[in-house]
Structure 1
Amino acid sequence: MNKIKKILIAFSLVLLVFSLAGAADYFLEDYQARKHLEDLAKQPEDSPTGSDAGGGATAPPLSDEKAEEDEPVMLPKFQELYRRNPDIIGWLKIEDTVIDYPVMQNPQDGEYYLSHDFDKKESKHGLPFLDVHCQIDDGDILLIHGHYIKSGMMFADLMKYKEERFYQEHPTFQFSTLYETADYEIVAVILSKVYRKADEVFKYYQVEKVGTPAEFDSYIQNVKQLALYDTGVTARYGDKLVVLSTCEYSTENGRLAVIACKRQ
């Protein structure tokens, strides 16, 4: 065996070792993230409160206008989680998917949970988080972002909604704030993309521009036009919407979004 062949074989072995190490790191991080989220989902609702736990969870004020009103009562299942990380603003659960996650919002950094877990440790998986232009207690549309993870974690299971049959079997999902649990009916499932600022097209993610009845109606009309299929569900001004958004790779900067209306 000549010298060149030996060098090529050695180089190939080095590449193989690095590839295996990288794959091992990926699967280990994926396992740890799954385990971490499973532990969060199992958080007992009867966690100690009051003096026995070093002080009860203090509910954050809903808004400046509402601060003078009586403070709302935080749901028991969130009290220990809120003490652990007050960035939690809710919980999202979709049946027959892995989506059973806390929803976060960091007041200092709108994209913090793109790369951090519940305990604020760096994580490629991140966590679902509320858009920087949204406030959990204010506004008609809550836009929630989540990574598409190839292993199936985070918002990867939203891709199941490309199939109308899956929607028909799962027309609703559950989103809880710290103070109430509600079901949301799916209005539309759309494919879109992140456009350039100069592009004069409908941008479903610009929820901060939806404030008036006319703007809300226009938003609904636009998502209906982009819908992959007809759900038969619509929304009117005054209804509360949740928009779940994740990457979709059939086009550059592609996005898939599930738009749902709070059930009355």
Structure 2
Amino acid sequence: MMKTEKQPDGCAAETRVLERVEMPEKNCFVRSLEQLRASDIADSASLPKKRLTASSLTRVGAFLVCMAVFAFSLYQIVDRLVGQIQADLLMQQLQAAAVERAVPRMDPTQSSKPGYTLLQAINAGDDDPADTPIITTAYDTEYRRLMASIDINGDVYGWIRIKGTVIDYVIMQGADNDYYLKHTISGAYNEAGSIFADFRLSKTHRDNYNAIFYGHNMTDGSMFRALRNWYEDYATRDAAAETMEIEIITREGVYIYEPFAAYREVGAHFITASFADEKEYLAFLKEIQSKSVLRRRPSYDANSRICTLVTCTNAMEGERYVLHGILKSVVYYG
């Protein structure tokens, strides 16, 4: 729209045309705020709620399950590590106790005689000079360690050591074959458990024709894992067997075995602990040697004594690695 404007008096008559300038309109957002009323704000409770679909529920459930599995797995890993650390510390304490403990020894001049076989020991009479206990300084530390272990727990059966491997553990014996699967010498619960003797064995080691010992096949290399490593190393297994010695250190003496047979098997025939007669025992020895993967075939008779070491293969349900040792000599303490 146009309009004219007259100049004040005294000025030349002039008419100017003024153009009306329109102000820019307010933007939509500002107008909407100005027009907003309280009634326009909806109550959150009245808003329509989204429904969880079956697929979203499945995803949430799967996530929660994964988190639970992760948490449980983490707990197991930490628990196993803590248990192993505790077991290692206990072994160190036993080693320290072995050094501190004093053990009476015979005169060194009397300890130069060689050890004698179990058969000779069994047949020796009370007046036989060969029945005199023999001491060697090589086993003094082991004897101290064993006695320190017995002071901790009366269930200690002995100690096992296999030369050429890391196996060097106390042997427990419980009222059954379950407790020490998951318990240490201190009675603490531990996934690694202990090496333990079959509950049917006599506490007097020399009375056992088949002395059976169990241990877990732990992936961290502890317990009887070394049996698996030795067995599965086909290239060196036979050569290692030629020099391997299994030492069972007990209160009455040290029993030294050499490998007799080794195999993998599902079943439990190999843990037969008692035999009706010599014929049955000889048949047992013949059978286990026939299963052996070793080239060596030590001779045996009805007077032979063996030990049997058993651990899981972790490959098949109920399958075990089995190593039998045959007794070759015994060393007695004084």
- TM (norm. structure 1) is 0.76
Q: Do structure 1's residue 207 and structure 2's residue 273 form an aligned pair?
A: yes
CA 1:122/1:17 → structure 2, altered by over 3 Å: closer, same or farther? closer
Distance 1:31 1:224, change over 3 A: same
Distance (Å, rounded) in 2 between the aligned partners of 1:136 and 1:34: 26
Structure 2 distance, partners of 1:159, 1:19, is 25
Q: Is the 8 A contact 2:158 2:171 kept in 1?
A: yes
Partners in 2 of 1:49 and 1:176 — Cα distance?
Answer: 15
How far, CA to CA, are the matches of 1:166 and 1:39 in structure 2?
33
Q: Distance in 2 between matches of 1:146 and 1:213?
A: 29
How far 1:18 moved relative to its partner?
4.2
Q: Distance in 2 between matches of 1:45 and 1:82?
A: 15
Deviations 1:72-122 (A, max 9, x none): 99944322221221111111011343311011112x344321121011122
Alignment partner for residue 101 of structure 1, among 166, 169, 175? 169
2:158–2:250 contact (8 Å) kept in structure 1: yes
Higher helix share: 2
**Distance in 1 between residues matched to 2:315 and 2:255, nearest whole Å:** 32
1:35 to 71, 89, 109: 89
Q: Which moved further from structure 2: 30-39 or 87-96?
A: 30-39
Q: Is the 8 A contact 1:191 1:256 kept in 2?
A: yes
2:323 corresponds, among 245, 249, 258, to 258
Of residues 79, 84, 88, the one that matches 2:152 is 84
Change (3 A) 1:216 1:45: farther
2:244 aligned with 1:166, yes or no? no
Amino acid at match of 2:182: S
The residue that corresponds to 2:118 in the other structure is: none
Instruction: Decide whether aligned partners of structure 1 residues 99 and 89 sit closer, same or farther in structure 2, where only a CA change above 3 A counts.
Output: same
RMSD of aligned C-alpha atoms?
3.0
Q: Distance in 2 between matches of 1:92 and 1:155?
A: 11
Compute the displacement of 1:235 (Å). 2.4
Aligned residue number for residue 214 of structure 2: 145
CA distance in structure 1 between the aligned counterparts of 2:151 and 2:158, rounded to whole angstroms: 14
Residue 179 (1) aligns with residue 235 (2): no
Corresponding residue for residue 226 of structure 2 = 157
What secondary structure is seen at the aligned counterpart in 2 of 1:174?
Answer: strand
237, 252, 255: which is aligned to 2:302? 237
d(CA) in 2 for partners of 1:98, 1:154: 9
Percent identity between matched residues is: 19
Closer/same/farther in 2, CA of residues 220 and 47 from structure 1, 3 Å limit: same
**What's the CA shift for 1:211?**
4.5
Query: How many angstroms does 1:160 deviate by?
Result: 2.5
1:144 aligned counterpart, secondary structure: strand
Using the TM superposition, give the Cα deviation of residue 46 of structure 1 relative to its aligned residue in structure 2, in angstroms: 4.4
Shift of 1:206: 1.6
Alpha-carbon offset, residue 253 of structure 1: 0.5
| Map of 1:114 onto structure 2 | 181
Per-residue displacement from partner, 1:17-47 (whole Å, max 9, x unpaired)?
4433332222222232233234334432541
CA offsets 1:223-258 (integer angstroms, 9 cap, x no match): 111111222323222122111111123432001111
Contact 2:177 2:199 survives alignment (8 Å)? yes
Aligned partner of 2:264 in structure 1 is: 191
Mapped contact 2:94–2:148 kept (Cα < 8 A): no
In structure 2, the partner of 1:61 is none
Amino acid of the residue matched to residue 73 of structure 2?
Answer: S
AA partner of residue 152 (structure 1):
G
Which TM-score applies when normalising by structure 2? 0.61
CA, structure 1 residues 46+221, in 2 after alignment: closer, same or farther (shift >3 Å)? same
Pick the structure with greater CA Rg.
2
Distance 1:16 1:226, change over 3 A: same
C-alpha distance in structure 2 between counterparts of 1:14 and 1:81, whole Å: 40
- In 2 relative to 1, CA 32–245 (structure 1 residues): closer, same or farther, beyond 3 Å? same
C-alpha change, 1:131 and 1:9, in structure 2 (3 Å) is: closer
Amino acid in the other structure paired with 1:187 = F
Q: In 2 relative to 1, CA 21–112 (structure 1 residues): closer, same or farther, beyond 3 Å?
A: closer
Is 1:129 matched with 2:196?
yes
Unaligned runs of 5+ in 1: 51-68, 196-202
